[in-house]
Structure 1
Amino acid sequence: MSIAVQSKPSRLAPAALWVVRGLLAVVFLAAGGAKLYGVPMLVEEFQHIGLGQWFRYLTGMLEVLGACLLLVPPLGAFGAVVLSCVMIGATITHLFVIGGSPVPALVLLAFNALVIFVKRSDIAAVLSGRPR
């Protein structure tokens, strides 16, 4: 006969996830803000991409939107999805268009994927139409 011992859930995991979400939000607010502000280096980089400056504005808006969504508890996973799509595009752009290292984009993609994985029940709840 075995006795199952139920341990108290750790408070560390939710706190760690909030730290990750907060850091991601800061990074993407800064990056998106720089794109929207028109930092000369970014204007030149997006010119090199060849899609026009509208694409810089779109990318900046998606980064700011995703960062804001990360900080709203029921929408954090959706923010991470938006930002993951941006980072997939950034990785592809670095590999095939502008050069440079795709590692920063891949690291940010990995942290966003972690948020998506941990908060996947929030996505499932919204997609199924059931309340959380």
Structure 2
Amino acid sequence: MTAAYSPLISQSKAVRVASWALRLLSAAVFLAAGGAKIAGVPMMVAIFDQVGFGQWFRVLTGIVEVGGAIALLVTASTAFGALTLAVTMVFAVLTHLFLIGGNPLPAVVLLAMTGTVAWLHRRSFAVILDALR
């Protein structure tokens, strides 16, 4: 990796600002939601009772969300954190549509946000995979 390396496809200031805004907002949401899951907030316990996989799945989901949120804020891991959270939101949307009902729109919005961040930082995937070879 050279000193001029940037994980963003575009170097424009607008794209960098948009990326940071999406990263910060997404990280805040996922830290709050993941923390609530890990802490066992009664609403989260009830939702995961409806899902039917057990409370271990609530804790695992919370850990993934908190870990992904932290990864969003670390430039070297932004792309992987965003991809992890986007995939998590795909399953959240499917869970709302097919298991528990309710409005999937918040998960769809978070999917769009994290998917956009992953796309903006897609160069990171190739750079890191090349470094592993």
TM-score (norm 1): 0.89
Aligned length: 123
What displacement does 1:116 show? 0.9
Q: Which runs of 5+ in 2 are unaligned?
A: 1-10
SS at match of 1:51: coil
The equivalent residue for 1:39 is: 41
Identify the residue that residue 4 of structure 1 maps to in structure 2.
none
Deviations 1:53-107 (A, max 9, x none): 0000000000000000000001101000110111011011000000011111111
Q: Distance in 1 between matches of 2:98 and 2:121?
A: 32
**Residue 53 of structure 1 corresponds to which residue in structure 2?**
55
* Counterpart for residue 120 of structure 1: 122
Which residue number corresponds to residue 87 of structure 1?
89
Per-residue deviation, residues 14-41 of structure 1 (Å, max 9, x unmatched): 0121011000000000000000011101
Give, in angstroms, the shift of residue 11 of structure 1: 1.7
SS in 1 for 2:88: helix
Q: CA deviation at 1:52?
A: 0.4
Q: Which amino acid aligns with 1:24?
A: S
Output the CA distance in 1 between the equivalents of 2:72 and 2:81. 5
Cα root mean square deviation, aligned? 1.4
Q: Distance in 2 between matches of 1:72 and 1:40?
A: 31
Deviations along 1:102-131, one digit per CA (max 9) or x if unpaired, are 11111100111111111000011111227x
Aligned-partner SS, 1:129: helix
What code does the residue aligned with 2:95 have?
A: T
How far apart are the structure 1 equivalents of 2:96 and 2:125? 29
**SS of 2:35 mapped into structure 1:** helix
What 5-or-longer segments of structure 1 have no aligned partner?
1-8
Instruction: Provide the TM-score with structure 2 as the length reference.
Output: 0.88
